[in-house]
Copies of this chain bind each other. A is one copy, B any other.
Amino acid sequence: MPTIYEVSELAGVSLATVSRVMNGSAKVSEKSKKKVRDAMEELGYRPNSVAISLASKRSNCIGILVAELDGAFFGSMMTGIEKTLRQYQKHVVITAGHSNDADEREGVEFLKSRNCDALVIHAEQLSDEYLIELSKGDTPIVVMNRQIDAIAEKCVSLDNVKGGYIATRHVLEKGHRQLVNIAGPKFKNDAMERIVGFQQAVNEAGIDFDENRVFEGDYLQESGAAAIDHFVMSGIEFTGVVCGNDQMAIGAMARLREYKRLPSKDVAVIGFDDVSFAACTYPTLTTINYPIKLMGQQAAKLVLKDVYKIGVKDIRQIYEPTLMERNSVKRLRSK
């Protein structure tokens, strides 16, 4: 790998001049410019971004922390961020927090130590205090899916309580009174908030909230199926299933069929997130839209503006969950 030194030598100019043509920082005569460019070309020179980063304290990289690298939700989020950043030659460095405090902290430290210019964080375990403290450091951050008042201007979030409420109310409005809730892991904020929304809607309908009607899943398909097993085995009757996310919803629908209880026809199922496959299930999944890709784009715009002073507009930070009515929730047929 040739270095800037070799380029300067071949071009017959100083290091400084080469550096100047690289980042157009100051006036350089056309003549030197050409000599430098030719030399670079000839040597197949590639600037070493680690050295640039060390010297300039900037990396043109934005760090992203997500719980996992797979999953439709995180995929959309990462894509939303990456694609908008890429338009401005910014790169992303992604790391997984695996939903545990140690990995999340380590991930943040890693990203900071790599000189990321900013961090976009979707943390499940990091406390609000930690995040607030972090925001005071020298690496700007954007927090996804969490509303922290002290750093509201750095949050891009959606009202999960409201989402859970809307979902539940929709099922109730269709005449279902015997509901169960397949929730996400309770240690996750959004999972808990969605449960709260469920509870609100249920109470509002004059139904007693019953802990036993909430199953704690893990946001993966299999746990949606396990939840159905659980409810059936426990003899808990239900005609409506409110799910913490779409993945568990499809797992639940698949298992319901095995019990000969047809989704939509015999039991209403509603998801959350509106991931891409939700429109392709059978029955198509009624769910709550979570515009995570768009929100990722917004997060990116936020750093573009704050960190790189790039003028971008239409930055919105608080989003509303909306009902996506499809076919998995039908009116309860009177017996």
Q: Which residues of A contact B (CB under 8 A)?
A: 1, 46-51, 53-54, 59, 61, 68-72, 74-76, 78-79, 82, 86, 91-96, 103, 109-110, 112-115, 138, 220-221, 225, 247, 250-251, 253-254, 257, 276-277, 279-282, 284
Question: Which chain B residues lie closer than 8 Å to A59 at the CB level?
Answer: 50
Question: Which chain B residues lie closer than 8 Å to A82 at the CB level?
Answer: 69, 96
Q: Which residue of B lies closest to A63 (CB)?
A: B93
A221 to B91, CA, bound (A): 28
Distance from A74 Cβ to chain B, minimum over Cβ atoms (Å): 8
User: Would A79 and B70 count as touching, CB distance under 8 A?
Assistant: yes
User: Would B78 and A115 count as touching, CB distance under 8 A?
Assistant: no
Say which residue of B86, B113, B251, B254 sits within 8 Å of A49 (CB atoms): B113
User: Would A91 and B115 count as touching, CB distance under 8 A?
Assistant: no
Given contacts A48-B115, A49-B110, contact A221 B254 (CB under 8 A): no
CB pairs A–B below 8 angstroms (18 shown): A46-B109, A48-B113, A50-B54, A50-B59, A50-B115, A69-B78, A70-B76, A70-B79, A74-B75, A75-B75, A93-B94, A221-B276, A221-B279, A253-B282, A254-B280, A277-B277, A280-B281, A281-B281
User: Would A51 and B54 count as touching, CB distance under 8 A?
Assistant: yes
A75 to B279, CA, bound (A): 20
Q: Which residue of B lies closest to A224 (CB)?
A: B280
Q: Which residue of B lies closest to A53 (CB)?
A: B50
Question: Which chain B residues lie closer than 8 Å to A96 at the CB level?
Answer: 79, 82, 86
Question: Which chain B residues lie closer than 8 Å to A281 at the CB level?
Answer: 250, 254, 280-282
Question: Which chain B residues lie closer than 8 Å to A50 at the CB level?
Answer: 50, 53-54, 59, 113-115
